[in-house]
């Protein structure tokens, strides 16, 4: 998930790589782990439970992953790599700030809704990562945060957005709303992901409207 502010890390973390193409067996193992982590929590899920749900042997699981912790990290990595890829795709279009902010927010909300189990596991279990992986996670989240804040700052400098609220505060509030989705969003609820994305983006952009020039 996207982060708000994180303390700076003294060690440079690597840039996130796109998830590699996975075999069908590897994908089944990850899907089973994700489903069980979301339903039962990390502690409530055993390796045996994962292999039974995936219909594979323990040998097959350990061929791809050394431990449950590796499965958890791969779930995080997949989620964040997808979010950063979507962010970069919007930036590559060279849109004006208003359209760029709308594109980033609607894409992020739709992606979070479509992968709500990943977001749920991320929100609940992220502190289980070891130090090296936590540094990489924080670097990825910080990059997303700072890039989004840069779009707000660009709009404020150009007079498109009001500067009454600091860009940092806008970023914390906007991304924070998305980060809370695992607590309340239900795929079978009355509102589609598409409609929710448009409503939230519209709400944020309405709050950013610059007053008319005198």
What is the model's pLDDT at position 117?
Answer: 94
Distances (CA, A) of 87 to 144, 160, 163, 177: 8, 21, 23, 17
The residue among 101, 117, 111, 130 whose CA lies nearest residue 13 is 130
**Each residue of 8-64: pLDDT tens digit?**
343 443 444 445 567 899 999 999 999 999 999 999 999 999 999 999 999 999 999
**Each residue of 85-129: pLDDT tens digit?**
999 999 999 999 999 999 999 999 999 999 999 999 999 998 888
Domains 22-65 and 68-208 share a fold: no
Pick the CATH number of 68-208 from 3.50.50.60, 3.30.720.200, 1.10.357.10, 3.40.50.1970: 1.10.357.10
Q: Show me where the domains of the chain are located.
A: 22-65, 68-208
One DSSP character per residue, 79-104 reads: HHHHHHHHHHHHHHTT--HHHHHHHH
**Each residue of 144-176: pLDDT tens digit?**
999 999 999 999 999 999 999 999 999 999 999
What is the model's pLDDT at position 213?
Answer: 63
What is the model's pLDDT at position 38?
Answer: 94
What is the model's pLDDT at position 22?
Answer: 79
Provide the CATH number for the domain formed by 22-65 in this structure: 1.10.10.60
């Amino acid at each position: 998930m996207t982060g708000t502010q994180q303390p700076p890390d003294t060690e440079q973390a690597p840039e996130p790589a796109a998830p590699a193409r996975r075999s069908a067996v590897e994908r089944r193992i990850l899907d089973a782990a994700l489903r069980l982590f979301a339903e039962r929590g990390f502690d409530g899920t055993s390796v045996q439970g994962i292999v039974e749900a995936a219909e594979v042997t323990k040998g097959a699981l350990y061929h791809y992953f050394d431990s449950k912790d590796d499965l958890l990290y791969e779930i995080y990595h997949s989620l964040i790599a997808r979010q950063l890829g979507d962010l970069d795709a919007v930036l590559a279009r060279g849109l004006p700030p208003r359209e760029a902010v709308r594109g980033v927010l609607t894409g992020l909300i739709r992606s979070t809704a479509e992968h709500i189990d990943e977001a749920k596991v991320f929100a609940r279990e992220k502190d289980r990562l070891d130090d090296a992986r936590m540094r990489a996670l924080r670097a990825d989240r910080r990059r997303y945060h700072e890039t989004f804040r840069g779009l707000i700052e660009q709009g404020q400098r150009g007079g498109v957005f009001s500067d009454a609220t600091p860009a940092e505060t806008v970023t914390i509030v906007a991304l924070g709303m998305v980060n809370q989705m695992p607590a309340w969003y239900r795929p079978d609820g009355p509102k589609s992901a598409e409609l929710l994305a448009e409503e939230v983006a519209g709400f944020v952009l309405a709050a950013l409207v610059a007053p008319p020039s005198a």
